[in-house]
Amino acid sequence: MASRAIEATVRGLVQGVGFRWFVSREAGIVGVTGWVANQADGSVALVAEGDADDVDALIAALRQGPPGAMVSSVTVQDRIPTGSFSRFEIRSGSHRGD
């Protein structure tokens, strides 16, 4: 079971710049599971679970974003870890969550 789980929303210029692929790559590097999806309002939403330090590293990456992105805000809410994710995946736009 994961030691920390978050639900996050990233706002700014975060669609059309490879942001979901960036998040997926960073999640793989730090070893967290979950998902990322574009939202209809132009934001990017994600859920991530893993070791607390690894989740914190992903949050730090979200605040920077890939080249071409302009992150204006990152909202993070802790949630109860479920351990239900086996990998990190990119989901289609406007996914309703878990």
Separation between Cα atoms, residue 94 and residue 54, nearest integer Å:
26
DSSP letter at 67 equals: T
Give the residue numbers marked as catalytic: 20, 38
Q: Under the phi-then-psi rule, with left for phi > 0, alpha for psi from -120 to 50, and beta for the rest, what region is 56?
A: alpha
DSSP for 1-42, please give it: --SEEEEEEEEEE-SSSSHHHHHHHHHHHHT-EEEEEE-TTS
